[in-house]
Structure 1
Amino acid sequence: METPRTTFEGPRPIPFQAPQGDLAILSGTANPLLAQHVATALGVSLTPCRAHIFSEGNVFVRIKENVRGKDAYIIQGCHFPVNDNFMELLFWIDALRRASAQNITAVIPFFSYAQGDKKDEPRVSIRARVCADAIEAAGADRVLTMDLHSPQIQGFFRVPVDHLYGRQVLAQHVRRLQIPDLVVCSPDVGFAKGAAAYANLLGTPVVIGNKQRTDHSETVEVLEVIGDVKDRNVLLVDDLTITGRSLIAMAETLKKRGARDVYAAVTHAVLSKGASERIAQSQIKSMFVTDTIENSFDPLPPNVQVVTVAPLFAEAIRSIHERTSISMLFPDGRPICH
């Protein structure tokens, strides 16, 4: 697996009031680079710890420093390999609880099972609820995550959930590019509110795509584009992409409707096998993603740029630790839900 390139060049440490000894930042194996960048942004060191996978797949975790009475934050995403990473997260939470950490926050940059949020077919599991119960049972006091596929999953937990939005970082990056005649486009009606939030941050109009998916293969058909894109540069936005097919199909449709250049901004770039090659050969001029996912099935294509969300996670951790409001991290002091 290749580690994605990022635009991270070392953030300025955030002014920090609480003693470093009261705080413990731990990294699992899923997001070691992001964890290091978060710790750097906070001006603290990662707590030494070790994870080992035995030959038969058994996961062993150990904290190598005293965390008794500390506020502990374990940074461990649930992306590929999803089940291994999720089980490791549970073991870290359990290890912290047994080591007498005072408060345990599960920092989950990407919660893959958030896609299983409802019983939309007969005899299926609501996987997100099962995972939420497991995280609580392991001993987590709080969850910090980013761009849940369905924000209502926060209600699956009985512990507090702090939900961050990658669009704040991605929109800031796009603003710096000063792309003229820009319009924001959602690839489907499901992300229409998210696209409106992007447009609000960028000060642009919004257009909406209407697509159809007939099964779990992720093969899509774009039926219509609601709005005018002729002679405009278009920014496609979404919370995640797995195969890239939806974005690619929408980009082709936008070009047929007279769009100039098509860009994309996606928080979670899962990019399964073959997705990188498809995106490289697509009509997408540049695609901006975050570093919530570090393991790629294939090397990232040259038209994909990675923007770090480490400073945003660091700010959230600082707010939690100092008992101040996280809502101040959002535009106008409040989150814009999608």
Structure 2
Amino acid sequence: MTTGDIKIFAGSSGKSFAENMCSYLGAEVGISETRTFSDGNTFVRIGETVRGKDVYLVQSIGLKPNDEFVEILFWIDAFKRASADSVTVILPYFGYAKGDKKDEPRVSIRARVCAEAIETAGADRVVAMDLHSHQIQGFFKKPVDHLFALPVLCEAIARMQLPDLIVVSPDAGFAKQARKYADYLHAPLAIGDKTRKDHSERAELMELIGHVEGKTAVIIDDFSISGGTLVELSKLLIRRGAKRVLACLSHLVISEAGLRKLEDSPIELIIGTDSVYNPRLSSSSKIKIVSVAPLFGEAISRIHSRDSVSPLFEKVSERVIARALEHNRD
């Protein structure tokens, strides 16, 4: 395989991510165009031939989930109509993954609807990272490669050489994943007891399981929008005697109001990935972004050459880590 064989295209929310992937692979982003007309309609056009090619489309479903999701469907259709041999959808962040169950009457399982629509449009494969729950892979009939930000984020934490480290899960539901971070960092684990009563994006923190006195606490979560859980948990950790509090997020979908809360919180630093392009974060000195684009680039290289992707789940090469940690925000 040569990098010239790989055809990577970017949707409107995936441009910088696709550029970083191509930089890692020594490839070029495919020529394409996305327009939004005055009535809100989306128009996409491929600027080069893709006949007989294996195409990789990069697009997060992030800050504008409805527009970004519909755009993915149009891109898949365009590639298939242009006779691409296969279309792999690269979803650094799958925003609708939060809708993964029917836990109350008369609601949609939104993640399943999105999965079915992506496949109906003609996608042959999906590559995603840190889905809200693992069972979402089962919503797809086509292959799904589920990557994890864990090795990149853990290396970013480890290289800070934080003293007396303890990993903190915001709730029992995330404890299994947080345990993997704790094992990687050779640190103990504490767990918050959190409950949600409605869809207001506000969670009530009840209790903390574990001893954090004198520790440097690192809260681990997959994403945060309002920042409410992180702020309340950080305050509780300080009350329980933690010396310092940091946070580590796979996806930085923090709202403007959430960012203000986090700026005023005891959290010293929030480490996250570039899975979502979130320009509002550029003004914050509390945000440190590392890139998972090299991780996705390595995954695409392996998929394209028919090699195993599973070695990337727990450990990645020094080259991937080095490129990830040298990332600078735009």
Give the TM interval when normalised to the shorter protein. Answer: over 0.9
Once the two structures are superposed, residues 157-211 of structure 1 have per-residue CA deviations (whole angstroms, 9 ceiling, x without a partner) of 0000000111221111001100010000001001001110101111111011101
Task: Please give the residue correspondences for 1:148-187 in structure 2 after superposition, counting only pairs within 5 Å.
Answer: 148-187=131-170
Q: Secondary structure at the match of 2:241?
A: coil
The letter for the 2-side match of 1:38 is M
Displacement after TM superposition at 1:221 (Å): 2.2
For 2:60, which of 64, 70, 77 is the aligned residue? 77
Structure-to-structure mapping, 1:271-286, within 5 angstroms: 271-286=254-269
SS in 2 for 1:282: coil
Q: Residue 184 of structure 2 aligns to which amino acid in structure 1?
A: L
Do the aligned residues in 2 keep the contact of 1:277 with 1:301 (CA within 8 Å)? no
Label 1:160 to 1:192 Cα distance change in 2 as closer, same or farther (>3 A): same
Tell me which residue corresponds to 1:192.
175
User: 2:219–2:245: 8 Å Cα contact kept in structure 1?
Assistant: yes
CA positional deviation for 1:300: 4.5
Q: Compute the RMSD of aligned alpha carbons.
A: 1.2
The structure-2 alpha-carbon separation of the partners of 1:279 and 1:85, relative to structure 1 and needing over 3 Å to count, comes to same
Q: Is the 8 A contact 1:270 1:296 kept in 2?
A: no
Report deviation, 1:103: 1.4
Find the residue that maps to 2:18 and give its secondary structure.
helix
Deviation, 1:269, is 1.2
Contact 1:276-1:300 at 8 Å conserved across structures: no
In the other structure, the counterpart of 2:324 is none
> Structure 2: how far apart are the matches of 1:138 and 1:30?
19
Which of residues 199, 214, 217 is equivalent to 1:234? 217
Alignment map for 1:64-213 (pairs within 5 Å) = 64-213=47-196
Aligned residue number for residue 326 of structure 2: none
Letter in 2 for 1:42: L
Asked whether the 8 Å contact 1:34–1:310 carries over to 2, the reply is yes
Q: Which moved more, 1:289-298 or 1:314-323?
A: 289-298
Counterpart contact for 1:276–1:299, Cα < 8 Å: no
Runs of 4+ in 1 over 3 A off after TM superposition: 296-300
SS in 1 for 2:300: helix
- Counting matched residue pairs gives 316
Q: Match for residue 288 of structure 2?
A: 305
Segment of structure 1 superposing worse, 246-255 or 270-279: 270-279
Q: Distance between the aligned counterparts of 2:8 and 2:282, measured in 1?
A: 29
Instruction: Tell me if structure 2 keeps the 8 A contact 1:105–1:141.
Output: yes
* CA offsets 1:129-150 (integer angstroms, 9 cap, x no match): 1100000001000000011001
Q: Distance in 1 between matches of 2:282 and 2:311?
A: 36
Partner residue in 2 for 1:214: 197
Give the Cα separation in 2 of the matches to 1:32 and 1:159: 25
TM-score by length of 2: 0.93
SS at match of 1:149: coil
1:286 Cα deviation after fit: 0.5
Structure 1 contact 196–206 (Cα < 8 Å) conserved: yes
Distance 1:296 1:124, change over 3 A: farther
Could you tell me which runs of 5 or more consecutive residues in structure 2 were left unpaired when the two chains were aligned: 317-330
Structure 1: stretches of 5+ with no match in the other structure: 1-17, 334-338
Asked whether the 8 Å contact 2:4–2:27 carries over to 1, the reply is no
Structure 2 CA distance for aligned equivalents of residues 69 and 221 of structure 1:
53
- Whether the 8 Å contact between 1:261 and 1:284 is mirrored in structure 2 is yes
**Residue matched to 2:274:** 291
CA distance, structure 2, for counterparts of residue 235 and residue 298 of structure 1: 20
Maintained 8 Å contact 2:273/2:290: yes
Letter in 2 for 1:101: A
Q: 2:321 corresponds to which residue?
A: none
1:59 aligns with 2:42: yes
Confirm or deny: 8 A CA contact 1:236 1:247 kept in the other structure: yes
* Separation of aligned partners in 1, 2:166 and 2:233: 14
Q: SS at 2:159's partner residue?
A: helix
The residue that corresponds to 1:257 in the other structure is: 240
Please say if residues 18 and 58 of structure 2, whose CA atoms lie closer than 8 Å, have aligned partners that are also in contact.
yes
In the alignment, what sits opposite 1:12?
Answer: none
Partner of 1:36: 19
Contact 1:231 1:258 in 2 (8 A): yes
1:270 corresponds to 2:243: no
Q: Deviations over 1:57-95 (max 9, x none)?
A: 111101101111111100001011110000011111111
Name which of 248, 258, 261 aligns with 2:231.
248
User: What's the CA shift string for 1:7-56, capped at 9, x where partnerless?
Assistant: xxxxxxxxxxx133422000011021111000110110111110111110
